[in-house]
Chain A
Amino acid sequence: MPGPFLDRRLLVVTGKGGVGKSSVAAALALLASRAGRRVLVCEVNARERVAPLLGAPPSGTEATEVEPGLFTVNVTPATAMREYGLQILKFQALYEAVFENRLVRAFLKVVPSLGELVMLGKILHEARAEAHGRPRWDLVVMDAPASGHAVQLLRVPGAMLGTVPPGPLRSDAEWMRAWLVDPARTAVALVTLPEEMPVVEAQELDQQLREQVGLAPAALLVNAMPEARFTAEETGRLGPLAEAPPPVGPAARAALLQALRAQHAARHLATLRAALPLPTALLPLLASPAWGRAEIEQLAAALAAPGPGEPAWLPAGPAAARAPARRRKGAP
């Protein structure tokens, strides 16, 4: 298991929409299971992506082994509620009498944040569950929703401590929060792209997670990083050739675009690393029109075996480099 996630029980993977969270979660899970760990990937009420990315059919709401030692599950409010209800009421018949009641079902929908609480509860329950004196899972990977929604989900236990009076819901919120904010058990990986908006949002997400959830992200995963393929001298030579007839013109234009993209990416990466002093892994930009097993294998390979002379994990920058929290008016 790569770098900073060694020996954690729960790994939360989040980031801006469209940065490739599910692909990165799938690659991390694959690596962990290959290192001999029993892994469960939890998707949160989503159109399932992880099992299909690994080349398996969707798992649905039951944890399903998609390859040896690697399970995935789609956690939905309905199934999580049922499991939670059964856990409290103990008896199937009593559960059915109460929870299958039409009025109660409608009622439960209106208890604010209950859906989020039970989904998060199910995931944390899996992470802490033990069987035969050892953890049921060595690692639970949570493919969390995008930025703002992830914060909303993860802050539910803390928020409930502030709003819910003492009772069973509150005690659950208490242990859930304790688990979430314990750095020995839980790690958050921020996934981003080396582009301007994703970099800004990664910094905001880092701040929100620390301030609103009490969780400090453990690592940065920069996806779709283009390689520095052409030297400045070469792009200087190619510049005047961009309008040349084929084959030189199109080849020069493709090279200039690639060089520009790599140059911007390097700049955004530098900004990000200066702002967030976290261990950082770079994942290559893959020119694949569709994502599947082959692409996940490439990400996993990049995380496991870096190029010659290149560490997969860049060490964290100096801690003092973390930019002071930016506060905008109206920010919570």
Chain B
Amino acid sequence: MTALRRSIGSRRIVVCVGSGGVGKTTVAAAIGLAGALDGQRVLVCTIDPARRLASAMGLGALGNLEARVPPEAFRAAGLAPRGELFAMMLDVKRTWDELVTRHAPDPARRDRILKNRLYHQMSAALAGSQEYMAMEKLHELATDRDYDLIVLDTPPTAHALDFLDAPGRILDFLGNDAARTILAPAAGAGRLGLRLAQLGSATLVRTLARFTGAEMLHDLAEFLRGFQGMYEGFKARAAAVRVLLGQPTTGFLLVASPSPLSIEEALGFHERLQREGMPVAGLVANRVTPGLWRGAGPLPDQAALAAALGADGALAARLGATLAEHERMAAGDAAALRQLFEGVPGPRAVVPRLEEDVHDLAGLAALARHL
């Protein structure tokens, strides 16, 4: 067993992070599959709006439901898992609704929030909403279920760091004291216009109203009033999630491809995890072009290839150019990996660029063998 597999094997939660397009979802699914093959009961949870995991795991719709990958799917792939594999797709809106339902003091309050126009917009579109709900769901799954391993595939954020900052940003929104101070009279009276004059910062609010419209302020006041009293519950929960993420039985798995952008992101995320004392499970360098020309000798020229092949010069020329091109890509990848490995010590795996797309369990199993 590799150091990376040992590191993953010692954890209950593995959070896969990396920039978009590095194959995070596929790596998450492969890790889950490897655990199931070894006898673990594993859940792979993805948030990706492109629903990639679903197709990779041969599953249809996954909306917030943990669905077991059926035995016949394994049989068809020639696999005999000793454990079980489950997959789910996070439904952001539903997770928000569940959270509100759990924290609302009474059904009336719950309904008032669920019906609020701004709530709908926030749960669907507020930046960080997905990430926050991913963590919220992770906490629920980790405490209420008995999986041996939960693999979380994080949303395809522009910056991997967004994932760690999201809960704070949303909590800032829900617990925004400035907004409460400014809007308190509106929230208390229900009619903004009536109370503006009585407010010390009346000019301020009137100017703001010019900017957003008075009704908008009213809606917002109403919304924040709905959340009043629930904020502490949200905050406590977010703190609990933070503790969960910091435990040694949790681990962040950095996934990177050899592109400069991806390496930069991975290094940045690793630095951040170190600074915050978060556990790092390891590193997967994905889609790496392996070198084919071993040894130090110069690449063969067209004449050498033509002679060795007994082939025509035109084919030999194309072969020579293709090998040179391949080695150029391999050398570029190797240099990128050296930079990555220097910055991120610890267990790691290098997965070669697979020319066959991974879209079924057999493909995932093949990928898992590189981990």
Contact = CB atoms under 8 A, between A and B. Distances in A.
Contacts of B179: 106-107, 110
A19 interface: yes
A255 B210 contact: no
B176 A109 contact: yes
A260 interface: yes
B21 A251 contact: no
Given A110-B172, A112-B121, A200-B55, 19 more contacts: A17-B21, A18-B262, A104-B204, A110-B173, A111-B212, A112-B126, A152-B127, A159-B124, A165-B213, A168-B212, A170-B213, A197-B52, A248-B305, A250-B292, A251-B319, A252-B319, A254-B319, A260-B356, A330-B64
B107 interface: no
Interface in B297-352: 297, 299-300, 304-305, 308-309, 315, 318-320, 322-323, 325-329, 331-333, 335-336
Nearest to A248: B308
B249 to A, nearest CB: 30
Contact of A254 (B118, B126, B322): B322
B91 interface: yes
Interface string A265-292: 0000000000000000000000111110
Contact of B61 (A251, A261, A264, A329): A329
A301 interface: no
B60 A329 contact: yes
B178 A145 contact: no
A250 B293 contact: yes
Given A115-B127, A328-B54, A104 B178 contact: yes
Contacts of A253: 292
Interface of B: 19-22, 49-52, 54-55, 60-64, 89, 91, 117-118, 120-122, 124-127, 155-159, 172-173, 176-179, 181-182, 201, 204, 207-216, 219-220, 224, 257, 259-262, 292-295, 297, 299-300, 304-305, 308-309, 315, 318-320, 322-323, 325-329, 331-333, 335-336, 355-357, 359
B178 A288 contact: no
A196 interface: yes
Contacts of A257: 326, 355
B204 A167 contact: no
A319 B353 CA distance: 35
Nearest to B51: A328
A101 interface: yes
A255 B319 contact: yes
Contacts, number: 227
A332 B214 CA distance: 30
Contacts of B55: 200
B168 to A, nearest CB: 12
Contact of A328 (B60, B207, B309): B60
7 contacts: A17-B21, A113-B126, A167-B209, A200-B55, A247-B300, A257-B326, A264-B356
A214 interface: no
Contacts of B318: 229-230, 255
Contacts of B177: 106
A289 B357 contact: no
Given A102-B178, A149-B158, A289-B333, A164 B357 contact: no
Contact of B292 (A145, A148, A254): A254
B20 A146 contact: yes
A169 B211 contact: yes
Interface residues of A, number: 80
Interface string A93-118: 01000100111111101111101100
A122 interface: no
Nearest to B359: A196
Given A104-B204, A200-B52, A330-B91, A261 B293 contact: no
Contacts of B309: 241, 248
Contacts of A166: 213, 215
A162 B212 CA distance: 15
A287 B121 contact: no
A164 B332 contact: no
B176 to A, nearest CB: 5
A258 interface: yes
A260 B355 contact: yes
B221 to A, nearest CB: 11
Q: Identify the interface centre among A98, A113, A254: most chain B CB within 10 Å of its CB.
A: A254
